[in-house]
Amino acid sequence: MQKNSILNRSSNTIEVEEKKVFKLPKSIEGFIKETGGLANFAARFFKQVWRPPYEFSEFIRQCYEIGYRSYPLVAITGFIMGLVLTLQSQPTLAKFGAESYLPAMVAVSIIREIGPVITALICAGKVGSGIGAELGSMKVTEQIDAMEVSGTNPFKYLVITRILATTLMLPILVIFADGVSMIGSFVGININDEVSLTLYVDKAFTALEFSDLLPSIAKSFFFGFGISLIGCYKGFNAENGTEGVGKASNSAVVAASLMVFIIDAIAVQVTSLFI
């Protein structure tokens, strides 16, 4: 009997020690749960996006809210981005007598990388936080529950329309930001030198190829999808009243910005295989 009791105690202590050893830290456990929840949320989106009814009017309204209302901020940022990049690069190129390559360098830099990433980060701050706060406030005030009671599918009306609108509008904003950045670059060159618009356009677009534009536009769709998906997920799962709304908005911006860099790193590796 004593041997059996001793064996039972030793086995129990071993099980306790194993549980202590294999228990994950709370931060890692929380990250895994969030990743799984986000993946399940994305799977739910792809499952319901093809099913009627289609909220076309709400989709158009979200395109206006997300796309058109973001144009002023994107335009100002794009202009300053092109202007500053030109002014910073001009003295360095002048040391090597390569000022004639400045329009081509700025054009390639903006079109390939800077334009899509900066525009996506702006949308992560503006659109991602807006979606997270809006859906979070609807969640904590039980408006989403009221929509379910009334027979409306809140996921299709609130989530799918916002994700589709952001995915569609972000590439358009990227193209717009690229164009405004080129204008800012032209202004920056003419601050110190005098270059005609025809010569600038010729120098800039001679260095560009279709393979420069296609990857940047393609990854912009993924930027828009990731930003809106995270914003909707954070807002749709907000808790703890008004405090939860602030947390949902803040975490949506942080996670969406991180997602932009992750997608960009993957896109660079993928495009390097084909170009």
Q: Are 207 and 108 in contact (CB under 8 A)?
A: yes
Q: Alpha-carbon distance 131 to 129, whole Å?
A: 6
| Global pTM value | 0.85
DSSP code at position 53: P
Backbone angles phi, psi at 97, to 5 degrees: 65, 35
Backbone angles phi, psi at 187, to 5 degrees: -65, -40
| pLDDT for position 3 | 47
Domains of the chain: which residue ranges?
A: 56-274
Q: Are 68 and 101 in contact (CB under 8 A)?
A: no
Within 10 angstroms of residue 33's Cβ, the number of other Cβ atoms is 10
Encoding tokens for residue 146?
A: 């009221």
Per-block mean pLDDT, blocks of 10 residues, the chain (275 long): 50 50 69 86 90 87 90 92 90 81 88 91 90 88 84 87 94 93 91 84 84 88 94 87 83 91 90 74
| pLDDT for position 9 | 53
Count Cα neighbours of 22 within 13 Å in the Cβ-side half-sphere.
Answer: 6
At which residue do the structure tokens 């939860």 appear?
A: 244
> Which helix (DSSP H) or strand (DSSP E) does residue 144 occupy?
helix 143-149
Backbone angles phi, psi at 249, to 5 degrees: -65, -45
Q: Are 143 and 242 in contact (CB under 8 A)?
A: no
Q: Are 175 and 78 in contact (CB under 8 A)?
A: no
Within 10 angstroms of residue 69's Cβ, the number of other Cβ atoms is 12
Q: Is 195 exposed, middle or buried (0-12, 13-18, 19+ CB in 10 A)?
A: middle
At which residue do the structure tokens 């002023």 appear?
A: 72
**Helix, strand, or coil (residue 218):** helix
| pLDDT for position 5 | 54
Would you say the C-alpha torsion 152, 155, 160, 162 has a positive or negative sign?
positive
